[in-house]
Structure formats: structure tokens, C-alpha cells
Amino acid sequence: MEEKANQFLGEERIGRLMQKYAIPCIISLLVGALYNIVDQIFIANASYLGSYGNAANTVVFPLTVIALAIAVMIGDGCCAFVSLCLGRRQPKTAKKSVGNSIIMVIACGLALCAVYLLFSTQIIAMFGGTVNEETFRCSKEYFFYITLGIPFYMFGQALNPIIRADGSPRFAMVSTLAGAVINIIFDPIFIFAFRWGMMGAAVATVFGQVVTAALAVWYIAHMKLIKPARPDFKMDGGICRKTLVLGVTSFLSQISLVAAMAAINNMIRKYGALDPVFGQEQYAQIPMAVVGIVMKFFQIVISIVVGMAAGCIPVVGFNMGAGKSRRVRELFTRLLTAEAAVGAAALLIVELFPRQLIYIFGAANESAYYTSFAIKAFRIYLCMMIFACVNKACFIFLQAMGKAVASTVLSMIRELVFGVGFALLLPAFFGLDGVLYSMPLSDLLTFLIAACLIAGTYRELNREQNEKDVKKCKELTPEIRNSKSLARQKA
């Protein structure tokens, strides 16, 4: 029954499958992105926090991404592995992967929490939190309470793709949405009514993460297709390796983003100090606050893009495992088209309405320097948005096809070679503006490489389909001959 329950992945229309799996995943990721973004909006509009709180949020944000990177490596890897197993009719192996993944994410969450608590001061300094004294104070306060929620955050994020692989994308969406609603409710209460400042924003976030994690625990006990039994929680090195290999692209795409953000934050601190305006103590935090806001908008767009692609992982994995190359090719075409459309829409917004965007994040309470730098940052930093969206789709689709090496290499080139390299190199020639140029240049060059991989993927899928068609034709030939012979005899 378990083997037949998901056969519709290989039979249902591709467009309908994309809607069923991608839309809940998009909403889940958007809601997940709102945790940090909502904090920043309320912080920015609290007059007693303002750009100092915004800058602190920017400092802490990459540290939450580290936790997310580990969680999605386990969760996305398990999702891809489970989907491939179900396509190959191996439900027992799929259950073992789920049980092992749950143990891995719990252990990693507790370990990362301990590391953050022990080395908080050094970590905050590493990510540019020493731009001025008030920013450092806000960063440390926010980071401490966010750290306490790290195990819950990682558990909820890792289980989300596993729940989708079990055939319940709507529950995955609802569990994340519930946590975000809790965060949105308590943020204004703690920040404006109780005036808890950065602590209030962090505590509201942790409350939401606990709710999401609790719902994930409930679902584990009520899984439909791949409910693990007690023996499935016994660690198996071989299954863990296969799971993590398929999730390593998700990990590297996130962790390399952290490296890029660390480089960007430190270049902002270094070259901002040399700027005639932002070198002044009262304005020193503005570039870091602004770039953080621009990244948050980018995160919203990328949540849609990644949601489309990641939501299709079970569909891609099942059809690859079942040898249905034509359906995989159709899905790839639809996905790339949709991702490019999202990028084009986002590009229009940032180029036409940057002032309106920045006013959402408290520009009314800030100086004219804040607004002018923010408008320039939006228009330059995100001008290659279309290519960025297509690149992300390519990373994830290759991962879902089981091409972990190609996907990983491309992701590493984008984030580490280009992302970190240009963030460190360009400011030496263009000053603070060089930080803004690093993003579009990285996306453009990555797209040139991704285009070659996309063309190669199409060639491979076409070749597999042609071979299958030829084989099928050969198998049918004797039957055709026999039927003709029989018809002649009857005549």
C-alpha cells in the first residue's frame, strides 16, 4: 500500500503537481523568512532601537543561517533520499533515513546552541558587530535569546521537507505559519508595550519556533507513508552518508551565503569607516543596517524561488527513480520559466519602488543619508535578480536529480569564489559601493556557468528518453510481427 500511495507523482499532470507541492513549500519558506524580517520591521520602527537595532539584526542574521544550513542539509537530503527510495520501491530504507535524520538534527541543534553560548562575543565581532558600541550591545542581547531557540528552530526547519516528502505539504506549511503568527503577535507586544527591545524581538521569535517544533513532533507520530518505527532510529552510517550527500548542496548554498555575509559585513565596517559620511560615529551603523534590509527583501524573493524548486524535489526524485525522463524534462522547463518570471517581477519592484520599500523599515525615523544609501543599494545590489533566481532553481533541481556534485560545485562557485571574492576585491577599487557591485557581478558570472549545466541536463534527459523509446520499440517489434502473421493466417 505504501508503494502505491505515491504513484500519482509519476502519473498526475506536471502543472497540478507543481501547484500541490510548490505552493505550500513557497508559503512555508516565506513564513520562515518572515521570522527575521518581521523582527527587523518592528525593530526599525521602534524609535529607541532604530538603525542600531537594524544593524544588530543584520549581524545576527547570518548566525541563524548557519543553523538553517545544518537543518536543511539534513531535511532536504532526507526529502530527496526518501523520494528516490519511494520511486525505487524501497520504503524500508526511506523510513530508516527519516529516523536517522531526526536524531541527527536534535544532536546538531544542541551542539550549535552550546557553541554559540560559549563564544558569543567572538562570533559577534567576527560578523561585524563592533561597528560601534551601541550596535555591539544590541547584537549581544539579541543573539543570546535567539541562541536559546536554535534547537527548536533547527528541528522545525529540518522536519519541514521531510513532512512534504511524506505527502503532507499543507501540514508543513501550516506548522511554519503557526509559528510565524505567534511571532507577529508577540513582537509588537514585547517591543512597544513592554519595551523589552532586542530581547523582546528575540523572545517572540523563539516562541514561534517552539510552536513549529511542537507541531513537527506531533506529525512524526502520525506520519502516513514513511512512519519510522523504533529500530529506524538506530544510527546507520551508510544511510546517514547518503542522506547528507544529497543535502550537502542545500548546506553549502546556505553556509557559503554566511561566508559572503561575513565578508560583506566586515567590508562595510572597514570601508564605511573611510567614508566621509558613514565614518562619523552617529552614522556608522547605517550601511550595515541598509544592506541587511536589502538582503531581507532578497530573502523574500529567494524564498519564493527556492520554494518552487524545493517543493518539486519529491516529484523530481520519484520520476528520476522511476526512469520517467520526459516528465522530469517538462518539470525542468516549467520551473525555469516560472523562476525567471519571479525574478523579473522582483526586479521591477526594486528598480521602481526602492523608496517605498525602505520606508517599511523605519526610514521616517532616520537621516537623509539612510534613505539615499538605501535607494542606491536596492537598485545596484539586486539588478541581476533574474539570473539569481534561475541560478537557485538550477542548484536545487540538479540536487533533486541526484547530481549532488554538480549542484554543490556550482553553489560553491557562486557563494565562495564569486560572492566572497568580489566582496573582498571590489571595495579596494570602488570603496563602499564595491560591496554593492559584488552581488550582481557574482550572479551574472554564475548564470553563464549554470546555462551550460542547464543545456547539459536537457541533453541527458533527451538521451535517456530516446534510449527508453528505442528499447520499447524493440520490445514491441516481435509482438507487431506476430500480430501481422496472425492476421495473414486468418485472412
- Structure confidence at residue 393 as a pLDDT band (50, 70, 90): confident
Cell of 228: 519510522
| Report for 321-325, 383-387, 464-468: range of highest mean pLDDT | 383-387
pLDDT at position 219? 95
Residue 480, pLDDT above cutoff 60: no
Residue 38, pLDDT above cutoff 80: yes
pLDDT at position 478? 63
- Structure confidence at residue 477 as a pLDDT band (50, 70, 90): low
Q: pLDDT higher for 467 or 275?
A: 275
| pLDDT, mean of residues 440-452 | 95
d(CA 236, CA 248): 18
pLDDT at position 40? 82
Q: Does residue 59 contact residue 265 with C-beta atoms inside 8 Å?
A: yes
Range scoring the smallest mean pLDDT among 193-202, 239-248, 318-327: 318-327
d(CA 455, CA 109): 39
Range scoring the smallest mean pLDDT among 16-20, 246-250, 410-414: 246-250
The answer for residues whose C-beta is within 8 angstroms of residue 117's C-beta and 6 or more apart is: 144, 147
pLDDT at position 367? 84
- Structure confidence at residue 484 as a pLDDT band (50, 70, 90): low
- Structure confidence at residue 113 as a pLDDT band (50, 70, 90): very high
Residue 421, pLDDT above cutoff 60: yes
Residue 114, pLDDT above cutoff 50: yes
The DSSP output letter for 170 is: H
Q: Does residue 150 contact residue 113 with C-beta atoms inside 8 Å?
A: yes
Mean pLDDT (the chain) is 87
| pLDDT, mean of residues 92-118 | 95
User: What confidence tens digit (pLDDT) does each residue in 237-280 have?
Assistant: 999 999 998 888 778 767 877 888 889 999 999 999 999 999 99
Residue 4, pLDDT above cutoff 60: no
- Structure confidence at residue 158 as a pLDDT band (50, 70, 90): very high
Other C-beta atoms lying within 10 Å of the C-beta of residue 223: 17
Residue 434, pLDDT above cutoff 80: yes
pLDDT at position 489? 62
- Structure confidence at residue 2 as a pLDDT band (50, 70, 90): very low
* Proportion of the chain above pLDDT 70, given as a percent: 94
pLDDT at position 491? 56
| pLDDT, mean of residues 226-235 | 89
Per 3-state DSSP, what percentage of the chain is helix, strand, and coil (rounded to 5)? Answer: 85, 0, 15
Q: pLDDT higher for 32 or 411?
A: 411
User: What confidence tens digit (pLDDT) does each residue in 42-76 have?
Assistant: 988 888 888 899 899 889 988 998 999 999 999 98
* Proportion of the chain above pLDDT 90, given as a percent: 48
pLDDT at position 401? 80
Q: Does residue 70 contact residue 251 with C-beta atoms inside 8 Å?
A: yes
Q: Does residue 79 contact residue 309 with C-beta atoms inside 8 Å?
A: no
> If 0-12 CB within 10 Å is exposed, 13-18 middle and 19+ buried, where does residue 8 land?
middle
Q: pLDDT higher for 312 or 135?
A: 135
Range scoring the smallest mean pLDDT among 85-99, 109-123, 381-395: 85-99
- Structure confidence at residue 1 as a pLDDT band (50, 70, 90): very low
pLDDT at position 275? 92
Q: Does residue 135 contact residue 58 with C-beta atoms inside 8 Å?
A: no
- Structure confidence at residue 490 as a pLDDT band (50, 70, 90): low
- Structure confidence at residue 3 as a pLDDT band (50, 70, 90): very low
Q: Does residue 288 contact residue 134 with C-beta atoms inside 8 Å?
A: no
Cell of 294: 536589502
Q: At 280, phi and psi to the nearest 5?
A: -80, 140
